[in-house]
Structure 1
Amino acid sequence: MLSLDWILRSADVRPDEAMVIRHAYVREHEDSGLQGIHADSTDDEILYYTSRQSATQRVFPVTPPRYWIVFIREDGGRARFWAVVENHGEAWNDGRQRAFTLTVSEQMADLRNRLVIGWKSPRAWWINGGTAAPYPVLEIADAKPIPFPGFDGLVLDYPQLQAVMRDHRYASWRTALASVKGIYLITDTRDGRHYVGKADGAESIRQRWAVYATNGHGGNVELRNLDPSTFRYSVLRVFDPATPERDVNEAEDHYKRALDSRRWGLNRN
């Protein structure tokens, strides 16, 4: 099986000169206290987040190596490659946090958001390059854009939703979802219960779904204690951004009644 070792050496990155990081979507980093990253974070935000680390020696290496191979956590023990960054040294250290001067390298640039490896150390968010070298390559995705299927054909499971919110192949999907507000449906495929939600006011469906991609529940009490891995997302009706809010509210109420999602589903009101 193809391993990360072969990928690194093909890019002239020696595993013993690298560390491998797997970021997760979190509100706040548990070690540094920094604001976390989410499914819609920009590359600049991810780089900034990577550059700030805890000053506690047990948390982060005292002298980290030159190359940091950065991945983003996915479900099922997977990690998707974000970028190789080059460490130019520590910029400051206040005893609690450290900042490093990092630049994104062109090494492995053709594999960004395409390479997926199996992550065998679920409790570790960084490991030495030599330890990660034998990790298996699970996927090298097609780099071609994926056509948007239209709102009527849009049905996503949770991993797909996360991919749509950050993978460059889905750029046209994000554009389409950002252009409308409307009514959407979340189905828990374990028991078939429905949750009818809306994106209205200044919020587009893309903005609303980006929150779900980040934390799984979107701030909804009804969904907060459920496992989003079995959720399925679809669009019931879209509206032009200029549509009055009362029209969106009426449509939401209609679908809640039609699907009986208050009595048998996940809606509380």
Structure 2
Amino acid sequence: MGKALEVVSDSTALEGELTLGHVLAAAGLALSDVIVLRHTYTDDGLRNQDDLTAARVLDYTRWQGIGNKIGLNPPKLWLVFMADGKRRSRLLTAYDNYGELTSQRSEESRLFDLRPSQALSALTDRLVVEWSKDAVNWAKLGTSAAAFPIVEIADPGRIQFPGFDRVLLTYLQLQSLVTDSRYSDWRTALGAVQGVYLIADTTNGKLYVGKADGQERILGRWSTYAKDGHGGNIALQALADLDSAHAEHFQFSILRVFGPSVPAAEVDEAESHFKHALLTRQFGLNRN
């Protein structure tokens, strides 16, 4: 039998006020499993919006000071919000906490094994709560954060395709690309071209160069990665065998695109060139 969900106060529901607790309950998340963090821009941390990349936010969040507000054994789901003016706080991302990496502990800091989570992913960048008046307390257990009022749930806007040379996606974003209506412009563009693409493992910097040719197009090829995380590639399959969630560390980009009528041999030649230039056979994840 699963863990019972904590009951959110009925008074707010009767008054018509929507709270974070109501949202968590609707998502089937137990309050005791959740901790809510609020990041702010600082000179020695996340400095501005340019720092709000998936890799940078993850690195910033997984390092925590000794004895700080997250507690000795923080819950398994971390919901990360970003200060959005006064006490407004916008949902930035969510992580599953696989525990502290105690071998990395120092006198001043602790490192946690955090991995991207799909929890509340449909509300990322859309859900805005009002933090409690003690905003200096930037970490709140779910039982406390449940009372935070929801002040905004923005409409999901269409995500503009940035151009082939500016495509940069996390694995979770790639999965959204395949299914989310907001990415319709992306699917149209990527479904029209052949190309050579790059997968980077953000845990160690290793690279994989791949191609999408013929009728498959880039969209078709990337859709297979969205389903299984490895696309049948030998080295990526080996990583998946060791850790089924390892694909969540992958980052996808495009090296070169070709029109649909370009011969497969030309695409093959470009793929071989990039494997050679980026040394992905010797030091990366290509096995041929």
Per the normalisation by structure 1, the TM-score is 0.52
2:249 to 230, 243, 247: 230
2:171/2:247 contact within 8 Å kept: yes
Distance 1:211 1:233 in 2: 13
Q: Given the superposition, is the C-alpha separation of residues 21 and 209 from structure 1 closer, same or farther in structure 2, using an over 3 Å criterion?
A: farther
Point out where structure 2 has 5 or more consecutive residues left out of the alignment.
1-7, 30-94, 96-115, 128-145, 241-245
Q: Quick one: percent identity of the two aligned structures?
A: 49
User: 1:167 Cα deviation (Å)?
Assistant: 1.1
**Of the candidates 230, 235, 251, which is equivalent to residue 217 of structure 1?**
230
| 1:149 and 2:176 correspond | no
Q: Does 1:266 align with 2:279?
A: no
Which residue is equivalent to 2:83? none
Aligned counterpart in structure 2 of residue 249 of structure 1, from 268, 272, 277: 268
Distance of aligned partners of 1:244 and 1:212 in 2 relative to their CA distance in 1, 3 Å threshold: same
* Deviating 4+ runs (over 4 angstroms): 19-22
1:200 equivalent to 2:213? Answer: yes
Question: Counterparts of 1:167 and 1:266 in 2: how far apart (Å)?
Answer: 29
Structure 1 position 142, deviation (Å):
3.7
What residue number does 1:178 align with?
191
CA shift, 1:165, in A, is 1.2
- Spell out, residue by residue over 1:40-68, the C-alpha distance to the aligned partner (whole angstroms, 9 max, x if none): xxxxxxxxxxxxxxxxxxxxxxxxxxxxx
Gap runs ≥5 in structure 1: 23-73, 82-110, 116-133
Structure-1 separation of matches of 2:120 and 2:251: 22
Q: Aligned partners of 1:218, 1:241: CA distance in 2, in Å? A: 21
Q: Which of 187, 211, 218 is matched with 2:200 structurally?
A: 187
The SS at the match of 1:185 is strand
How many Å separate the matches in 2 of 1:168 and 1:150? 18
What does 1:103-182 align with in structure 2 at a 5 Å threshold?
A: 140=153, 142-182=155-195
1:263 counterpart SS class: coil
The CA distance in 1 between the partners of 2:209 and 2:166, in whole Å, is: 18
Aligned to 1:88: none
In structure 2, how many angstroms separate the alpha carbons of the residues matched to 1:20 and 1:192?
Answer: 34
1:163/1:234 Cα in 2 relative to 1: closer, same or farther (>3 Å)?
same
| 1:8-33 Cα shifts (integer Å, max 9, x gaps) | x99xxxx9xxx9899xxxxxxxxxxx
Q: Which residue of 1 aligns with 2:117?
A: 76
Deviation at 1:80, TM superposition (A): 5.3
Cα drift, residue 79 of structure 1: 4.9
CA 1:77–1:243 in 2, change beyond 3 Å: closer, same or farther? closer
Determine helix, strand or coil for the equivalent of 2:254.
Answer: strand
- Normalised by the length of structure 2, the TM-score is 0.49
Report the 3-state secondary structure (helix = DSSP H, G, I; strand = E; otherwise coil) of the residue aligned with 1:260: coil
SS in 2 for 1:78: coil
Post-superposition Cα deviations, 1:220-261, rounded to whole Å, max 9, x if no partner, equal: 111012411111100000001110010000000000000000
Rounded Cα–Cα distance in structure 2 between residues aligned with 1:190 and 1:80? 22
State the distance in 1 between where 2:155 and 2:27 align: 23
RMSD: 4.0
Alignment length, in residue pairs? 169
Residue 77 of structure 1: CA displacement? 5.1
1:239 is matched with 258
| SS of 1:149 mapped into structure 2 | coil
Cα distance in 1 for partners of 2:215, 2:224 equals 15
